[in-house]
Chains A and B, each alone.
Chain A
Amino acid sequence: MSAPSHAPETTEPVDSEPGASASGRSDADNRSLRQIAWQRLRRDKVAMVSGLVVVLLILAAIFAPFLVKLFGHPPTQFHQDLIDPSRRVPYLDPENPDAGIDRWGGISSDHLLGVEPTTGRDLFSRILYGAQISLLVAFLATLVCVALGTLLGIIAGYMGGWVDTVISRAMDIFLAFPLMLFAIALVGVIPDGVFGLTGNGLRIGVIVFIIGFFNWPYIARIVRGQTLALREREFVEAAKSLGASNRHILFKEILPNLVTPIIVYSTLLIPTNILFEAALSFLGVGINPPTPSWGKMLSEAVPFYQTAPYFIIFPGLAIFITVLAFNLFGDGLRDAFDPRTSD
């Protein structure tokens, strides 16, 4: 016989299955898919760095008042002594007005990112407080999207038939809506004090409502598609044949399988919503001054793009870094959870 004689021994436990790739299973045994994804995520450097940036941004927004107390000045405090009144941009040296203006906006140990033209408000603290508004709006809006989208998507996908048709057509209509124009019009006509909200509380409420109410179809479509696929899986039939109700199947069998895509797509929806809030504020229908907002800062910076370019760069960078970090982190999450690479 030419068969190699150093073939592996066949002393396996009674119940072993030679077909199974038994190797490497032992340490993976008690891990859930989420634990495996976490281990994969940890090896993804880009995702870990962007995840860290996301966490830092959130912490910075939450602790903005504290940080500002340490490193800056209140965001609405004017420092007009630093500003050249004729050209409205900061002096190079406030002690010596004849030395000219500073294209870098008076960056100093006192004002880490310089000061605003015209008013001289501290840019560092305004960007920090801007993060509060941006993230708050983005998170709340995403929450609304996810809640509406998951509920309607899962119902459409599971029930099928006319229910699916009605919800799917509604999605098409919402997606075809000229969202930006609607937002501008709505902010214009809504009176102050509805629903007991005034000022910026009302503005935030309106923006969250608009974004949430018109962006849910993105989540709903994904959830619906996944549900359609999951509905055909045998474990759903198995649950049915055990006598499980529709509610049990929807929420106990199918929903746990949707958590991953929902987390991933919400992480990717957050930056879109940040950009949307910035765009609305840029157009003047977002947050009311003097509360800082990144979009508003950008629009205020436009007239100064030659004399004080930093004023456009810092808020721009803030938006850019936030959006990029969320996007990269979302991509990393998706890769980590990707069913194609899972066992």
Chain B
Amino acid sequence: MASTGPASAAPDAVVRVDDLRVTFPTMDGDVHAVKGLSFEVPAGGALGIVGESGSGKSVTSLALMGLHRGSRAEITGSIEVAGQDVVTASDRKLRSMRGNDIAMVFQDPMQSLHPQYTIGNQLVEAYLVHHPKAGKAAARKRAVEALDRVGIPEPAKRINSYPHEFSGGMRQRVVIAMGLMCDPKVLLADEPTTALDVTVQARILDLLDELRRELNMALILVSHDLAVVAGSVDEVVVMRHGQAVERGDVRTVLSSPEHPYTQALLAAVPRVEMSRAERRAQDRADRVEREKREGTVTKPGDFEAFTPASTEDEPLLRVRDVAQRFRVRGGTWGRATDFWAVKGVSFDLFKGETLGVVGESGSGKSTLSRMVMRLLEPTEGTVEFEGRDITHMPERGLRPLRRDVQMVFQNPYSSLNPRLTIGESIGTALRVQGERDGKKIRSQVQELLERVGLEPNHYNRFPHAFSGGQRQRIAIARALILKPKLIICDEPVSALDVSTQDQVLRLLSELQDDFGLTYIFVAHDLAVVRQVSDRVAVMRKGEIVEMGDSDSVYENPQSDYTRQLLTAAPVLDPDEARDLRAERVAKRAADAA
């Protein structure tokens, strides 16, 4: 197998990186962001660079474009793009290379286009910079072609639109079109789909794949997600702490990884084909083994499989036809228009079960969870908790309820008050609920810190001293301290790296076993939702399009939208990814016909 990568010094390599090192001098000493990275990409080839946050992948992609010029970064080693050394090239030479030989697609299409110019202006400029003699008309013609190429409908008309008139996915297409204006030999896409919904992500990845094949362009796809690159690249480099821990053919790396880090990473990636039951069984087995190894005395039956209460009982939570209206200002004459973020959603939730709510951005899943939490007052419908109607309960009346229903928020960086120690943050709940004994609060908080896998002596630390995953553990401890019955998790792992995500999911699962918790688990990631949910509700535009037992929803989806989501979900197996792609392309062709 040629899994050793391209034969060294392949004559047709368009990108050749050799022993690249990037160091940032900071006040706290040098930060070695990249430490001796080497790879090559042949013309028309595709390379995936995968790593978690802080692995140096973005620093590498910026270095390829020579974008560290003018910063204090120290770069050694060589980077060759289309035969030109980027490290030593003059600024002028570098400018002529950018866009011409190597073009870049950035992560956030909301920020990589200039809001004040039409996309036409921006595309034309990208061309004229490199072909000053071409003339505006020719450049414009090319721009229309490029927009057509990336699948913007009615390109001749849309070329006069401003970026805000496009959706996120369409904007990313425009950015790609801009990259194509000068027929680059290499297209460098740094997390091109991270800011996008899963169906849009699939379309953008399909487009990149198609362009690469048809234009014989080399593609470098940088991502934190192995599943995103799996179906789109030939070769993959797995980075960690600035080094390539593994490099080789994508099939080999994904099917039989050699480095322990890659193995751990692959094991942590949630798989959409794994069911809730399998995952739970595995988590419990792992836990038994771990506790045996650590010698923790576990009382028998301590975490016996917790079976959800029978559905004949009174449900813990009953939601009936809830709807939430927001008034959007700025219509004609400044009149407010109504926007229904959620409409007509009903479900029952029984003790001990987990309801997964999955949907793309704008589907109303966060609004729904805030209504159940009563951070928002539903405009219509009712919410009953343990048989009590809490729909319009005033804040004061809600206080006892706050003991029973808690929430874990999405962003662990903004859900903890940066000016309070984590002990204070967690203890607030007890204080608010009337506990005055400082010692008692402290001991309870410390006990809980230990339970979620942190040190009790972290009590006096401030949130900035913790990583994202640790912060999410703190947030979970805060939600747990009042011993709630129901915890609403709003995208609890979407801001975390894949290995951290796995640990937090395990923790949530263990806590469910130990405390008999009921969860509402809101997320956009289909695989994650499947593994934690007994039942799943698929939301779209404020409504539930499908709800049912999670295995049947995933294996036998009834609605078109669910099916579309499932074919769009990235998978780890390159061959399966290609099959899914073919399926998507065929479906789109059929729809177009």
Binding site for B on A (CB under 8 A): 1-4, 7-8, 10, 14-15, 17-22, 24-25, 28-33, 40, 43, 233-235, 237-245, 248, 252-253, 256-257, 259, 342-343
Q: Would you call B419 and A7 a contact (CB within 8 A)?
A: no
- Closest-CB distance, A281 to chain B (whole angstroms): 40
Bitwise, B149-160 to A at CB < 8 A (1) or not (0) is 000000000000
- Closest-CB distance, B419 to chain A (whole angstroms): 4
CB-defined contacts of A234 to chain B, threshold 8 Å: 409-411, 414-415
Instruction: For the complex, give the distance between the alpha carbons of A7 and B55 in Å.
Output: 13
CB-defined contacts of B248 to chain A, threshold 8 Å: 1-3
Q: Would you call B243 and A242 a contact (CB within 8 A)?
A: no
CB-defined contacts of A257 to chain B, threshold 8 Å: 417-419
Q: Would you call A19 and B467 a contact (CB within 8 A)?
A: yes
Q: What are 18 A-B interface contacts by the 8 Å CB criterion?
A: A2-B4, A2-B5, A3-B246, A3-B258, A17-B503, A19-B467, A30-B465, A31-B462, A32-B421, A237-B375, A238-B415, A238-B478, A239-B417, A239-B432, A241-B407, A242-B406, A243-B402, A243-B403
- Closest-CB distance, A21 to chain B (whole angstroms): 5
CB-defined contacts of A240 to chain B, threshold 8 Å: 375
- Closest-CB distance, A97 to chain B (whole angstroms): 62
Instruction: For the complex, give the distance between the alpha carbons of A4 and B259 in Å.
Output: 10
Q: Would you call A343 and B464 a contact (CB within 8 A)?
A: yes
CB-defined contacts of A29 to chain B, threshold 8 Å: 461, 465
Q: Would you call B4 and A1 a contact (CB within 8 A)?
A: yes
Q: Would you call B407 and A15 a contact (CB within 8 A)?
A: no
Q: For residue A27, which residue of chain B has the nearest CB?
A: B28
Q: For residue B481, which residue of chain A has the nearest CB?
A: A242
**Besides A17-B503, A233-B415, A235-B417, 14 other A-B contacts (C-beta < 8 A):** A1-B258, A7-B259, A7-B261, A19-B53, A19-B497, A20-B470, A21-B54, A21-B467, A24-B29, A31-B462, A43-B27, A241-B375, A242-B433, A342-B464
Closest 6 CB pairs of A and B: A20-B467, A19-B497, A243-B402, A256-B419, A234-B415, A19-B52
Q: Would you call B414 and A20 a contact (CB within 8 A)?
A: no
- Indicate if B228 sits at the interface (CB-CB under 8 A): no
Q: Would you call B240 and A239 a contact (CB within 8 A)?
A: no
Q: Would you call B475 and A18 a contact (CB within 8 A)?
A: no
Q: Would you call A17 and B500 a contact (CB within 8 A)?
A: yes
Instruction: For the complex, give the distance between the alpha carbons of A29 and B461 in Å.
Output: 6
- Closest-CB distance, A118 to chain B (whole angstroms): 55
Q: Would you call B245 and A3 a contact (CB within 8 A)?
A: yes
Bitwise, B453-496 to A at CB < 8 A (1) or not (0) is 11000001110110111100001001000100000000000001
Instruction: For the complex, give the distance between the alpha carbons of A21 and B496 in Å.
Output: 13
A8's contact among B3, B243, B432, B469, by CB below 8 Å, is which?
B243
Q: Would you call B428 and A239 a contact (CB within 8 A)?
A: yes
CB-defined contacts of A17 to chain B, threshold 8 Å: 467-470, 497, 499-500, 503
CB-defined contacts of A20 to chain B, threshold 8 Å: 54, 467-470, 500
Bitwise, B518-556 to A at CB < 8 A (1) or not (0) is 000000000000000000000000000000000000000
CB-defined contacts of B5 to chain A, threshold 8 Å: 2
Q: Would you call B261 and A256 a contact (CB within 8 A)?
A: no
- Closest-CB distance, A170 to chain B (whole angstroms): 23
- Indicate if B215 sits at the interface (CB-CB under 8 A): no
Q: Would you call B475 and A33 a contact (CB within 8 A)?
A: no
Q: For residue B452, which residue of chain A has the nearest CB?
A: A15
Which range holds the interface residue count of chain B?
A: 35 or more
CB-defined contacts of B258 to chain A, threshold 8 Å: 1, 3
Q: Would you call A8 and B240 a contact (CB within 8 A)?
A: yes
Q: By CB atoms of chain B within 10 A, which of A2, A245, A256 has the most?
A: A2
Instruction: For the complex, give the distance between the alpha carbons of A4 and B245 in Å.
Output: 6
CB-defined contacts of B462 to chain A, threshold 8 Å: 31-33
Q: Would you call B428 and A242 a contact (CB within 8 A)?
A: yes
CB-defined contacts of A15 to chain B, threshold 8 Å: 453-454, 503
- Indicate if B36 sits at the interface (CB-CB under 8 A): yes
CB-defined contacts of B53 to chain A, threshold 8 Å: 19
Beyond A1-B247, A8-B241, A256-B419, is A19–B468 a contact (Cβ under 8 Å)? yes
- Indicate if B398 sits at the interface (CB-CB under 8 A): yes
Instruction: For the complex, give the distance between the alpha carbons of A17 and B496 in Å.
Output: 10
CB-defined contacts of A22 to chain B, threshold 8 Å: 467
- Closest-CB distance, A229 to chain B (whole angstroms): 10
Instruction: For the complex, give the distance between the alpha carbons of A18 and B403 in Å.
Output: 34
CB-defined contacts of B417 to chain A, threshold 8 Å: 235, 239, 253, 256-257
B432's contact among A3, A24, A32, A248, by CB below 8 Å, is which?
A248
Bitwise, B237-258 to A at CB < 8 A (1) or not (0) is 0001101111110000000001
Q: For residue A34, which residue of chain B has the nearest CB?
A: B419
CB-defined contacts of B403 to chain A, threshold 8 Å: 243
- Indicate if B373 sits at the interface (CB-CB under 8 A): yes
- Indicate if B143 sits at the interface (CB-CB under 8 A): no
B247's contact among A2, A32, A244, by CB below 8 Å, is which?
A2
- Closest-CB distance, A204 to chain B (whole angstroms): 35
CB-defined contacts of B503 to chain A, threshold 8 Å: 15, 17
- Indicate if B260 sits at the interface (CB-CB under 8 A): yes
- Closest-CB distance, B71 to chain A (whole angstroms): 15
- Closest-CB distance, B196 to chain A (whole angstroms): 21
- Indicate if B264 sits at the interface (CB-CB under 8 A): yes
Beyond A19-B467, A20-B468, A243-B432, is A3–B499 a contact (Cβ under 8 Å)? no
B240-291 at interface with A (beta carbon < 8 Å): 240-241, 243-248, 258-261, 264, 290
Instruction: For the complex, give the distance between the alpha carbons of A252 and B454 in Å.
Output: 25
Q: For residue B399, which residue of chain A has the nearest CB?
A: A243
- Indicate if B585 sits at the interface (CB-CB under 8 A): no
Q: For residue B454, which residue of chain A has the nearest CB?
A: A15
- Closest-CB distance, A10 to chain B (whole angstroms): 5
- Indicate if B82 sits at the interface (CB-CB under 8 A): no
Instruction: For the complex, give the distance between the alpha carbons of A17 and B475 in Å.
Output: 16
- Closest-CB distance, A251 to chain B (whole angstroms): 12
Q: For residue B5, which residue of chain A has the nearest CB?
A: A2
Q: Would you call B411 and A19 a contact (CB within 8 A)?
A: no
Instruction: For the complex, give the distance between the alpha carbons of A19 and B428 in Å.
Output: 29
- Indicate if B128 sits at the interface (CB-CB under 8 A): no
